[in-house]
Amino acid sequence: MPPHDTQTGRPPVGPQVMAEGRGLGFPAAGGAPALSDRTAETVPGYYDVPMLKPPVWKDLISWYFFLGGVSAGAYVTSRLAERYGGPKFRPLATVGTCVAAAAAVPCAPLLIADLGDPKRFHHMLRVFKPESPMNLGAWVLTAYHGAGAAALAREWLRRGKADDEQKNQGFVRNAADGLLVAVADVGGIPLALLLASYTGVLLTGGATPAWCKNAWLPALFSASAVSSGASAVSLAAEALGRVGVDTAADVARGPLHIVQSVAHLAEVITLVGYLSSVRRAVPAAWGTLVAAAGAEVLRRLPAGRRLRPWLDIGSAALSLFGAYHLRSTVVNAGHDSANDPQSRL
């Protein structure tokens, strides 16, 4: 009788495994203890075949996780810059809003492509089940696009206008501006925070050993979203500043550095916590730690006025690489753990 799991890519059942009776509870050859007497660490899966099917997610979902995190982090950065930065941070808020929108545009197509059928995404929006991370994520992504559109519309309506001119534009336009602010800030910020963290919650809800009920993943993805979002805003501001666009890069450099450093610290702490909880080695995770450390080193190197923007661009690019590498590593770790007969839930 063939093993219960015959999907492609599974390791074949060898004659030695059958002869030893491994998985059946019979004494193994050579006087080895019966299966019931072995420790959990040495018990193989059913005939050395993993008990679980691996996740169907591929590289598309890694890009979706990455771009969703970048968009959410950039959006929160832009809203905070506008609310608390004053007029001098207004150009940075505009850059952050555009970066968040650009990163959000591919998210829905990537998710739909990963689902395999556009109707599946539509069907998830026919019901609202907040207890389901996948259903909640579809609603969050849809509503977040609306909040991002409101923020973009406000930036377009007030382009080229000074603050005094903005206040004296009439009752109707002021009311419309207030409505857009409410949608972009009151609605958009919570949606962005949910978009940053729900992907980690989504992974923990399955039976995949590397993800199952892991409390570190939502915090890890949230910290990475903030660091990558702030890095994307910094990269765009510095790059546009090199071609003569006013992005307030010089003024915003210090606050952005603080946000990036705090987020990187939180990312490293939560990544170490995650790695210590998965009961298996994930060597590729070192790439994320090295990228975060390298980004911090580049930002702290002494440099003149001309070299400083290029160091910040390199630091931001390294941080973004680390953020994508983190998502890809976690997704691949899930595949490896599901294909490992020794994995435990």
Q: What was the pLDDT predicted at 50?
A: 65
Q: What is the pTM of this model?
A: 0.80
Q: What was the pLDDT predicted at 305?
A: 82
> What's the CA gap between 231 and 239, in Å, rounded?
12
Contact 108, 176 (CB under 8 A): no
Which pLDDT tens digit goes with each residue over 193-235?
999 999 999 998 888 888 888 899 999 999 999 999 999 999 9
| Contacts with 48 (C-beta within 8 Å, 6 or more apart), sequence order | 11, 13, 14, 17, 22, 23, 341
Q: What was the pLDDT predicted at 47?
A: 59
> What's the CA gap between 181 and 93, in Å, rounded?
13
pLDDT for 9 beyond 90: no
> What's the CA gap between 3 and 170, in Å, rounded?
75
Q: What was the pLDDT predicted at 173?
A: 77
Around Cβ 163, how many Cβ atoms within 10 Å? 11
- What the block records as the tokens of 56 is 């169907």
Q: What was the pLDDT predicted at 28?
A: 45
Which pLDDT tens digit goes with each residue over 69-96?
999 999 999 999 988 888 888 889 999 9
Q: What was the pLDDT predicted at 192?
A: 95
Cα angle vertex 36, ends 31, 41, to 5°? 95
Q: What was the pLDDT predicted at 165?
A: 60
143 phi and psi angles, rounded to 5 deg: -65, -35
Q: What was the pLDDT predicted at 124?
A: 82
> What's the CA gap between 251 and 8, in Å, rounded?
56
> What's the CA gap between 315 and 235, in Å, rounded?
8
> What's the CA gap between 135 and 25, in Å, rounded?
42
> What's the CA gap between 100 and 223, in Å, rounded?
16
- What the block records as the tokens of 40 is 């959990």
pLDDT for 141 beyond 80: yes
What is the residue-averaged pLDDT of the chain?
81
3-state secondary structure labels for all residues of the chain: CCCCCCCCCCCCCCHHHHHHCCCCCCCCHHHCCCHHHCCCCCCCCECCECCCCCCCCCHHHHHHHHHHHHHHHHHHHHHHHHHHHCHHHHHHHHHHHHHHHHHHCCHHHHHHHHHCCHHHHHHHCCCCCCCCHHHHHHHHHHHHHHHHHHHHHHHHHCCCCCHHHHHCCCHHHHHHHHHHHHHHHHHHHHHHHHHHHHHHHHHHCCCCCCCCCCCHHHHHHHHHHHHHHHHHHHHHHHHHHHCCCCCCHHHHHHHHHHHHHHHHHHHHHHHHHHHHHCCCCCHHHHHHHHHHHHHHHHHHCCCCCCCHHHHHHHHHHHHHHHHHHHHHHHHHHHHHHHCCCCCCC
> What's the CA gap between 98 and 102, in Å, rounded?
6
Alpha-carbon distances, residue 142 vs 72, 122, 146, 148 (angstroms): 13, 11, 7, 10
Fold that domain 59-338 belongs to in CATH: Formate dehydrogenase/DMSO reductase fold (1.20.1630)
Q: What was the pLDDT predicted at 33?
A: 47
> What's the CA gap between 16 and 148, in Å, rounded?
60
